[in-house]
Structure 1
Amino acid sequence: MMRVLGIESSCDETAAAVVTERGEVIADVVASQIAVHAPYGGVVPELASRAHVTNVVPVIEAALAQAGGIETIDAVAVTNGPGLVGALLVGLSAAKGIAFARGLPIVGVDHLIGHLFAVYLTRDDAPAPAPELPYVALLVSGGHTAIYEVTAPGEAHILGQTRDDAAGEAFDKV
């Protein structure tokens, strides 16, 4: 069964997970930066990037240890946007290094689309109650607020979005 190492660093959390082709989460580790940014009332991009540099290797190592080692990985997936440029580059660099060193395929993942399809992930072989297709999803994440129509696994179409403000940003600050 295929196992994919996923790496996420689009904003202020460094995360790594190992997921099977069936969507079963084998391991997941997150390093939060809430304490780093709290004094400023929001995410400071330069501080976020520096924290990712510090956290990315330990987070990936911990996820791989939970999953049984890097030898069990068949591919690497990494957030390629949208997000903070410096933060994204940290995750992308780590993912490219692992993929190159191990001769593994690498796949870029849109951060927002990842949110929409996370509902299909499972833990401990417990089936996730997958929504009936098609469905409409409200996505509120950081600087993004949008409504999507999800028509099939892997297929989503934006129905509308904000242009000047984001409920996700307000939500993150509460």
Structure 2
Amino acid sequence: MTTASRTDVTGVPKREVAVVQVIAFGLTARRAARILGLKPSTVESYARKAGQRVGASGRAATVSEFYVRKWIPLPEPMPVAASLTDGQRELLPFVVWSKTYKQMASRLGRPLASVRSDTVQLMQALGTKSRPHVVTLSLQYGLATTEQLRTWVSLVSEVQGTAVAGGLPPARE
């Protein structure tokens, strides 16, 4: 098999793209492996390589970068299925960019327990247990755009306090 047949037009290996697409929909490495006909360790390896390729620190950040770079197709828009509290909305950029609870609490000046609770409730409100799936659902429900994903990466690395709220879409009723 030639290199050209193993990569797409972006030069990204097709397997990496396939793995990121499956992870974007909240599947574990084990379930992704079953779907893709790979071993879970191979899925993990492709996911790690995809993250390194885009300089991402975690799977949610990898998925975000792949959406921003248009390496995977955007999900079909759907009406928002949940309403988020201000505390949950404030955390959305940090979850999308794979920040830990401790990093979020430190950067936002909030108690760790509050950040943990709001993150869990955010994921429950969106109906997922996976941070990469939060990225997909945020795009799907119109809670974020690819432009916001791009902007949030700098906000997440620089913000202190609640200044991040300016980059979030207005609350939906």
Tell whether the structures are fold-level matches, with TM greater than 0.5.
Answer: no
Give the alignment's TM-score, normalised by structure 2.
Answer: 0.23
Structure 1 length as normaliser, TM-score? 0.23
- Hey, which of these two has a bigger chunk of strand by percent? 1
RCO greater where, 1 or 2, for CA within 8 Å and sep 6 or more? 2
